[in-house]
Amino acid sequence: MAIVSIRGLTKKFTDAAAVDDLHLEIADGEFVSLLGPSGCGKTTTLRLIAGFLQPDAGEICVGGGVISSPSHLVPPERRNMSMIFQSYAVWPHMTVAQNVAYGLKFKKLTKQQIDAKVTKLLGVVHLSELKDRYSSELSGGQQQRVALARALVVEPQILLMDEPLSNLDANLREEMRFEIRRLHEEFGITTVYVTHDQSEAMATSDRIAVLDRGQIVQVGRPAEIFDRPKTRFVAEFVGKANILSGRLDGGSRMQIAERLEIGVMPNPDLASTTGEAAICLRPHNIVLTAVQSEAETLARQDYNVFSGVVQRRIYFGESADYTIDLAPHPFTLRVVGSPSKLYDKGQRIFALARPEHCVVVSNH
């Protein structure tokens, strides 16, 4: 059952809409990320859900009741939601325990009840030992844990997070992604998480909604978004992609250059199965070989065969990153290959890809 229903949500600050006819259904207990580049309307959408902003059109419902519309606005403090910001917003003059207890001040609880809840939450976020420290004496990661504990201690129906990890350094950011997912699995609170970082969205979310210019362009499980992008924008924003333009033949083949036709994975969402489109081919889905007979064997198994020359190789330890020049065809391919078999710059090579990895995407 959808606990949050967003229908036709629109917010304009100027003539251009920051959020433009946005639709999204979020199930009870689900963790959904809003993923997109800076300025695409993520924060505005979150502030609309929180009730800090009122929509110009559309509505937001929780559990069937309207909480936001152009004519009706339930105030933020009556929404039973917690919000976590990029800036942590913990009180520097309070201890860790006082910060976490702060949200409970307005609930009718005894001191013992408050202490019990705070103690439990500090244990959950691994801060028990630091409970009497002032938060000004904490690292960024610890402050973010305080913010998480403070948001969770009030047992909100919905948790909203706006780029909560962007002020942390890279290692900590990775650790905190797992932490946020762990807490979600422990508490099961319906969560809307805003980020411009695709790995963060993939590590934390049940579903990802990709935003572009105030609209959701695709929503799905992380693997669907990555393996079956519907548009060129989604393919390029989520992960590395080779995008090759071409003409569809009405079936599962596409002409991508003169005398170069390949088998592709059709896209059921395209309006037409003929005409201009593109494919997304992920660099790790390409197989390299310098041996012609191997390439021919794979070609008989329906692999698409590209023949080219290694233009550049970068060794990363766990992988090797190549650019393959496909001249005389007017394009190159990025390939992520195994470090156990390296090819040299200038070497003639075959790059092979299965049709189901050549995913048709719309051209925008």
* Range in contact with ligand ADP (rule: CB under 6 A) among 20-28, 41-49, 273-281, 334-342: 41-49
CB of 192 to ligand ADP, least distance (A): 13
Q: Binding of ligand ADP at residue 15 (CB under 6 A)?
A: no
Q: Binding of ligand ADP at residue 41 (CB under 6 A)?
A: yes
Interface residue with ligand ADP among 4, 6, 9, 18 (CB under 6 A) is 18
Select the binding partner of residue 41 from ligand ADP, Mg ion, none (C-beta < 5 to 8 A, by kind).
ligand ADP
| Closest C-alpha among 284, 293, 294, 290 to residue 350 | 290
Q: Binding of Mg ion at residue 99 (CB under 5 A)?
A: no
Q: Binding of ligand ADP at residue 44 (CB under 6 A)?
A: yes
CB of 43 to Mg ion, least distance (A): 3
Residues 6+ apart with CB under 8 A from 273: 248, 250, 251, 266
C-alpha 21, offset from chain centre: 20
* Range in contact with ligand ADP (rule: CB under 6 A) among 33-41, 114-122, 165-173, 174-182: 33-41
CB of 76 to ligand ADP, least distance (A): 16
Interface residue with ligand ADP among 9, 20, 30, 43 (CB under 6 A) is 43
CB of 42 to Mg ion, least distance (A): 5
156 upstream amide cis, omega within 30 of 0: no
Q: Cβ(42)–Cβ(34) under 8 Å?
A: yes
Select the binding partner of residue 40 from Mg ion, ligand ADP, none (C-beta < 5 to 8 A, by kind).
ligand ADP
The whole-angstrom separation of Cα 42 and Cα 18 is 9
Q: Cβ(44)–Cβ(70) under 8 Å?
A: no
Select the binding partner of residue 204 from Mg ion, ligand ADP, none (C-beta < 5 to 8 A, by kind).
none
Residues 6+ apart with CB under 8 A from 301: none
| Closest C-alpha among 72, 31, 33, 36 to residue 51 | 72
Read off the DSSP letter of residue 291: -
The whole-angstrom separation of Cα 48 and Cα 169 is 29
Interface residue with ligand ADP among 13, 136, 223, 274 (CB under 6 A) is 13
CB of 144 to Mg ion, least distance (A): 17
Q: Binding of ligand ADP at residue 210 (CB under 6 A)?
A: no
How many of the chain's residues bind ligand ADP (CB under 6 A)? 10
The whole-angstrom separation of Cα 252 and Cα 157 is 46
Binders of Mg ion among 5-64, rule CB under 5 A? 43
CB of 160 to ligand ADP, least distance (A): 13
The whole-angstrom separation of Cα 254 and Cα 10 is 38
How many of the chain's residues bind Mg ion (CB under 5 A)? 1
The two tokens of residue 146 are: 């305080």
- Given the complex with Mg ion, which of 163 and 227 has the nearer CB atom? 163
Q: Binding of ligand ADP at residue 38 (CB under 6 A)?
A: yes
Q: Binding of Mg ion at residue 285 (CB under 5 A)?
A: no
Q: Is the dihedral of CA 103, 105, 110, 115 positive or negative?
A: positive
Q: Binding of Mg ion at residue 195 (CB under 5 A)?
A: no
Interface residue with ligand ADP among 20, 30, 42, 244 (CB under 6 A) is 42
Select the binding partner of residue 39 from ligand ADP, Mg ion, none (C-beta < 5 to 8 A, by kind).
ligand ADP
Other residues' Cβ atoms within 10 Å of the Cβ of residue 300: 7
| Closest C-alpha among 206, 199, 211 to residue 170 | 199
Tell me the three state secondary structure of residue 356.
helix
The whole-angstrom separation of Cα 155 and Cα 146 is 15
Q: Binding of ligand ADP at residue 198 (CB under 6 A)?
A: no
Q: Cβ(116)–Cβ(109) under 8 Å?
A: no
Residue numbers at the binding site for Mg ion (CB under 5 A) = 43
Residue numbers at the binding site for ligand ADP (CB under 6 A) = 13, 18, 36, 38-44
